């Protein structure tokens, strides 16, 4: 019997060869599965066959990044909402929800809808409308407790309480207002006394927006400036809603302009005012849009054309490299002239000149 000492070596080599082939074949299958076809880059002309792998990887990364949209948010701000007196009369007759019928579909599309709530929601009887339907000369407002639900169903999710009527029933009335709003999930910010740290921050789609109210007919402007500066330093997009200006005057005053500039310097990103009950002029202070007054959103001031129309402002925000900026601004024109609630008249873009 001839001894063949090479036989064990042949078996070992064959085994190793088979193992390598199996691993190689498995690797090919894994590459095909994980990277189905890098050849699509060649087919589309996005890569060349002589490109280094690093360049191809960078090309793929660039394409992927282009496909990922920037985080974005829409914020709509409306003017004065008053639900007593004549509005209470038509609300009792036709239902409060019907007064927002034309705006609810627009509000529903927004991430945030904020308005100035021009009075408290309390269980007190109206002092502006008698049970027999007759009006009075009183300017002390209170809104029916059912109106909190109307705000929620109309997709208004945030209200400013920084105005000259939200305190008509004192601090007790304001606390009751907050309770009714909390009960239906509507947020609020500000108060008539410009108390510090009364902001509300809403975060969605990786964007956080801080809302601040300012009541110009009460002391405490320094509190608002401190809050703006703090919120800006914390990285929030800051929207300030001041209640200011002279009633029924369409042009802003020097005092309003000076305060707007001061708020912008403190870190405000947008300023949207109320109180004059008419639309005031708008302008840009650097990169910050200033709407001095949007006029009435829902009110019973039917004595002039100017008090029966108003505006709503829709901000389109986008985040890029941790910086939130305004992409575009749409302005809706509205009217209360029908005496049946809000009607949409039209829309336009508000661009920086």
pLDDT in tens, 172-197: 999 999 999 999 999 999 999 999 99
> How far is the CA of 58 from the CAs of 30, 50, 54, 104, 311, in angstroms?
22, 15, 6, 46, 47
Identify whether residues 51 and 134 lie together within a single domain. no
The whole-model pTM stands at 0.82
Identify whether residues 115 and 23 lie together within a single domain. no
Identify whether residues 46 and 81 lie together within a single domain. no
Identify whether residues 222 and 329 lie together within a single domain. yes
Mean pLDDT of 262-269: 98
In a domain, 230, yes or no: yes
pLDDT in tens, 132-153: 999 999 999 999 999 999 999 9
In a domain, 3, yes or no: no
In a domain, 17, yes or no: yes
Q: Which residue has the higher pLDDT, 166 or 20?
A: 166
pLDDT, residue 222, reads: 98
Identify whether residues 50 and 158 lie together within a single domain. no
Closest CA to 128 of 174, 79, 82: 82
Identify whether residues 38 and 142 lie together within a single domain. no
Identify whether residues 26 and 168 lie together within a single domain. no
Q: Which residues contact 19 (CB under 8 A, 6 or more apart)?
A: none
Closest CA to 84 of 152, 169, 162, 178: 169
Range of the domain at 269: 72-349
In a domain, 1, yes or no: no
Domain boundary among 36, 67, 98: 67
Identify whether residues 55 and 77 lie together within a single domain. no
Identify whether residues 118 and 20 lie together within a single domain. no
Mean pLDDT of 329-344: 98
* Strand ranges inside 24-170, DSSP E: 72-81, 112-117, 158-160
pLDDT, residue 31, reads: 44
In a domain, 2, yes or no: no
Mean pLDDT of 240-246: 98
Give the integer Cα–Cα distance in Å for 116 and 6.
95
Give the integer Cα–Cα distance in Å for 4 and 225.
96
CATH number for 336:
3.60.21.10
Closest CA to 351 of 325, 328, 335, 331: 328
Identify whether residues 152 and 224 lie together within a single domain. yes
Q: How many domains does the chain have?
A: 2
pLDDT in tens, 26-56: 554 554 454 444 554 455 555 555 556 556 5
Do residues 270 and 315 touch, judged by C-beta distance below 8 A?
yes
Identify whether residues 90 and 63 lie together within a single domain. no
């Amino acid at each position: 019997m001839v001894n063949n000492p090479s036989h064990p070596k042949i078996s070992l080599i064959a085994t190793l060869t088979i193992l390598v082939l199996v691993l190689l074949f498995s690797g090919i299958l894994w590459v095909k599965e994980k990277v189905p076809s890098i050849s699509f880059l060649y087919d589309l002309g996005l890569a060349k066959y002589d490109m280094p792998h690093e360049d191809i990887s960078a090309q793929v990364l660039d394409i992927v990044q282009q496909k990922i949209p920037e985080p974005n948010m829409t914020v709509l701000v409306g003017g004065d909402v008053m639900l007593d007196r004549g509005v209470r009369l038509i609300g009792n007759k036709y239902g409060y929800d019907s007064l927002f019928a034309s705006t609810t579909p627009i509000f529903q599309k927004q991430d945030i809808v904020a308005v100035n709530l021009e009075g408290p929601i309390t269980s007190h009887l109206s002092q502006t409308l008698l049970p027999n339907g007759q009006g009075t000369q009183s300017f002390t407002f209170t809104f029916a407790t059912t109106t909190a639900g109307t705000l929620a169903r109309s997709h208004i999710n945030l209200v400013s309480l920084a105005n000259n009527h939200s305190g008509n029933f004192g601090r007790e009335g304001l606390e009751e207002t907050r309770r009714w709003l909390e009960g239906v999930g509507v947020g609020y910010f500000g108060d008539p006394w410009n108390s510090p740290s009364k902001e509300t921050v809403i975060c969605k789609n990786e964007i956080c927006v801080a809302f601040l109210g300012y009541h110009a007919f009460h002391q405490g402007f320094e509190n608002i400036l401190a809050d703006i500066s703090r919120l800006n330093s914390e990285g929030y997009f800051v929207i300030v809603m001041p209640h200011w200006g002279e009633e029924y005057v369409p042009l802003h005053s020097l005092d309003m302009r000076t305060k707007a500039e001061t708020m912008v310097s403190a870190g405000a990103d947008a300023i949207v005012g109320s109180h004059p009950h008419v639309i005031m002029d708008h302008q840009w202070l650097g990169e910050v849009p200033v709407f001095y007054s949007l006029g009435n959103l829902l009110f019973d001031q039917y004595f002039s054309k100017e008090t029966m129309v108003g505006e709503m402002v829709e901000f389109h925000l986008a985040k890029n490299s941790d910086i939130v900026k305004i992409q575009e601004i749409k302005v809706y024109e509205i009217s209360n002239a029908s005496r049946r609630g809000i009607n949409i008249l039209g829309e336009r873009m508000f661009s920086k000149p």
